[in-house]
Amino acid sequence: MKIETLPSSEKTVTDEFVSMKNFFIASRIEMSLYTLSLHRISKNDIGIVGGKASNLGELAKIDGIQVPGGFCITTNAFRRIVSENKELNALFNLLGELKADERKKITEISAQIRSIIENIFIPDEIKKEIAGRLMETGEKNAFAIRSSATAEDLPTASFAGQQDTYLNIIGENEILKHISKCWASLFTERAISYRIQNDFDHRKVYLAVIVQKMIFSDVSGILFTADPVTSNRQVVAIDASFGLGEALVSGLVNADNYKIRKGTIIDKKITSKTLAVYADAHGGTKESALRSDFVNKQVLTDEQILYLERIARRIEEHFDYPQDIEWCLAGDQFFTVQSRPITTLFPIPGGIKQYLGLKDDDRQNRAFVSVGHQQMMTDAMRPLGLSIWNMTSSRSMFDAAGRLFVDITSELESVAKRNVLVNVLGKNDLLTKDALITLMQRDDFITIIPEQGGSQLGNKAASARDFQELADYDPQVVPELIRRGEEAIAKLKQEISSKSGVELMKFIEDDFKRLTSNLWNPQSFGVIMTGMNAASWINEKTKEWLNENNAADVLSQSLPNNVTSEMGLALMDVADEIRPYPNLVGCLQNENNKKFPENLLQFQEGKRAYEVIQAFLEKYGMRCAGEIDITKTRWSEDPLMIIPAILNNVRIFTAGAGQRKFEQGKEEAIKKEQQLLDRLKQLPDGEQKAKETKRMIGLLRNLSGYREYPKYNNVCHYFIYKQALLKEAESLVRDGLIREEEDIYYLSFEELRRVIARNSSLDSLTELIQKRKEEFRFFEKLQPPRVITSDGEIITGKYNRENLPADAIPGLPVSSGVVEGRARVILNMENAELEEGDILVTAFTDPSWTPLFVSVRGLVTEVGGLMTHGAVIAREYGLPAVVAVENATEIIKDGQRIVVNGTEGWVRLSPGKSVAARNTGSGDCG
């Protein structure tokens, strides 16, 4: 979809205007430069008529859909008045420099622009065309004057309500005046702010104006072809009120609400309606009190409701996307006055077309769970990252809005499998567990297939499996597994250096298969499961025998061979080399110097610091936030990202703190072990219980640290692949196949293979990459659900725990202890500025956030589970932590004092006074 571009200079605007005029003359489109009849407009005309008019033109082509007649004043008229006004162009330049939070400046410039446009002289040539259209349509009629922007009603941005509509406008002079008002409404404060927030260039948006016959409706309303609350694509939701629809859209009047699914009304809410808006005989609109017999009357009959559903599905099928539709009823005739895509829906995994059900109502219902919520990375991923991560899975994954989902339908069809699934996912995320239980309680959604032999496996079977992997591994197995992993990394670096072209792609694919195979190596997997199950055994038995909760948390502190926790301590050692030298600290605080860490070498004391940082990056530089996405920028690619963490350590700690922290955690774990064993020996069969527990503690301490290594090893391989692919991308840029090296991120692995083999058209490739970039920007704004169905319905879970404090926000307890402190709400690690005693509050964490964990007293995240990386490291560092706290970063304010109970799983806003948070600058240092 191509959107017209408004250039930045007057000369260019004029030149483009002349080119468009020549195009119209050459193509003889109605022989009109400034106006088009609605029935002549199609989706291909969006650049000259805007999104709203384009959609109206498409609606008029659908059999059985009534659209009020009228015409559109094209963007050429707007373009001409802009091109002929130097003052406007100067103001546009100022507008392009503003940020969304500069409210005062936006207000000032908005008012100036609108005043100029509303009072601008409309050239006679434009007036003449409008007068001719009014004669054709009926100049004595009343009209609705509607704005239609080129960046409006798009699948990725609706801009709903950003421009103005005027109803019941009568007479040519009034129509011309309100056309100018519509043009001016492109620059209201809300429209300007929305464009800034959504990264739309003000100079790339034009405005057309629709002049449509006024429908004096008895009833009007809005309908959605997907439930706006649950996103279910099978449910049509209708709002209906008496009078004109603009009153309902603007929230002036109450409306009935009806929900329909496949020809059946499944819900009605009849509201009390006291007010309606109608057309005024002298022009414009007026509010009127409803007659008493209308106050509680159902606005639409059941027959009319079902008729509207049929209209809605016909429109949706034409646009091939769920729609937000405005309609009105005059007498016994329904009119459609607007239809736009619903931009807030999260796409259905596997593609909307495949699962929408418009043409295949008999397809099987399916359910999907989010991979990102299990991996603690819910950000959107680019196509290359998606395809490579998908290659790690032993089963098919489906993408939607840059996220991956697993189809769990087959598990839900089996009693045994569904119980195992719910228990496994439930350990990691209680909200996913509750959502799945909600779905399973719907007998009509997924049919259970009877088990052969009448298997009755359930919770007991799942519980029994929890402890099946508890073999007595030699403690040296972990160092040996790590040694093999390091050898594989070294071998990969050596072998990949000689590969290029198609041979490189084949080599990466083969190495990836080996990597995935090693991930599921029985010994490696067994070690991980044994460590996890030993912790579960300890927690279960100490609760049973000693009535103690989460005993394994303290025992998990300062585990050996944990590459992630070692990384956090290593960055504390880096701070030790910088702290004594104010000039080095000042260098790191210098936001203008972009040559970090090389700039440290300008100081005599900087050589050692430089060497230590380089050693850190050599071992950990392949890490970053969202590291499962190969396209994410790594620390070694942009070392500035680790500066805030280094400065936090410089400010908060003293020399040797890293080693002391590790030793302290180790001592606490040893002390806890002895306390447990002593208490157990006092019980009946105490010696045996103590012996079994000591064995489990040994397995926990010796093996659990390895859990972090396989992912670290994967990420090391990813970075080596990435460096080789970017080197290959250099040749693609030289050959003109792509514009910049990072363009390969917007291609899947297979697509990139074809491009490298030169089996791709340059034009189609450029268009594809640009389209993917636009989609990705849109996907970044969407929040992925934990569970979604093939109907597009988002199934949400909730916590069902009693005995929580009345004002507590529930979550999942993953690291025991209670702490109170200042909340630091941080969404990007590189923007973190912490003080001693702070509690980190964020959306999610992965291993790259570990350097911050050493600086805080507690952790709260919106996403996470018992065995996700943030939870594991929180336990190892002894931080009370609660995860899966819904909307934590919105509910908790930066600087607010909070209490975190990592034992019971809740967060409470402290009645104490909030503490002002420091500014979270980027901390750039050369």
Dihedral angle over CA of 369, 371, 373, 376, nearest 10: 170
Region of 796 (left: φ > 0; alpha: ψ -120 to 50; beta: rest) is beta
The rounded distance, in Å, linking the Cα atoms of 862 and 682 is: 42
Q: Which amino acid is at 341?
A: P
Distance of CA 83 to the CA centre of its chain: 39
Region of 210 (left: φ > 0; alpha: ψ -120 to 50; beta: rest) is beta
The rounded distance, in Å, linking the Cα atoms of 756 and 843 is: 37
The rounded distance, in Å, linking the Cα atoms of 440 and 426 is: 14
DSSP annotation string for 105-134:
HHHHHHHHHHHHHHTSPPPHHHHHHHHHHH
* Rounded (to 5) percent helix, strand, coil in the chain: 50, 15, 35
Distance of CA 587 to the CA centre of its chain: 35
DSSP annotation string for 187-237:
GSHHHHHHHHHTT--GGG--EEEEEEEPP--SEEEEEESS-TTT--TTEEE
Distance of CA 798 to the CA centre of its chain: 20
282 is catalytic: no
CA angle 572, 528, 461 (to 5 degrees): 140
Q: Are 429 and 391 in contact (CB under 8 A)?
A: no
The rounded distance, in Å, linking the Cα atoms of 536 and 876 is: 16
The rounded distance, in Å, linking the Cα atoms of 393 and 38 is: 51
Q: Where are the alpha helices (DSSP H) in 869-925?
A: 869-877, 888-891
Q: Are 65 and 49 in contact (CB under 8 A)?
A: no
Distance of CA 564 to the CA centre of its chain: 26
Q: Are 577 and 608 in contact (CB under 8 A)?
A: yes
Q: Is 299 helix (H, G, I), strand (E, B) or coil?
A: coil
Q: Are 441 and 463 in contact (CB under 8 A)?
A: no
Dihedral angle sign, alpha carbons of residues 110, 111, 112, 114: positive
Numbers of helices and strands, H then E, in the chain: 33, 26
Find out whether the peptide bond into 597 is cis, omega within 30 degrees of 0.
yes
The rounded distance, in Å, linking the Cα atoms of 424 and 550 is: 18
Residues with Cβ within 8 Å of residue 664, at least 6 apart in sequence? 558
Burial 415-450 (b: 16+ CB within 10 A, else e): bebbbbbbbebbbbbbbbbbbbeebbeeeebbeeee
Q: Is 788 helix (H, G, I), strand (E, B) or coil?
A: strand
Region of 758 (left: φ > 0; alpha: ψ -120 to 50; beta: rest) is left
Catalytic residue among 178, 202, 717, 869: 869
Distance of CA 113 to the CA centre of its chain: 34
CA angle 453, 456, 462 (to 5 degrees): 130
The rounded distance, in Å, linking the Cα atoms of 219 and 217 is: 5
Phi then psi for residue 225, to 5 deg, are -85, 5
Q: Which amino acid is at 401?
A: A
Active-site residue set = 869
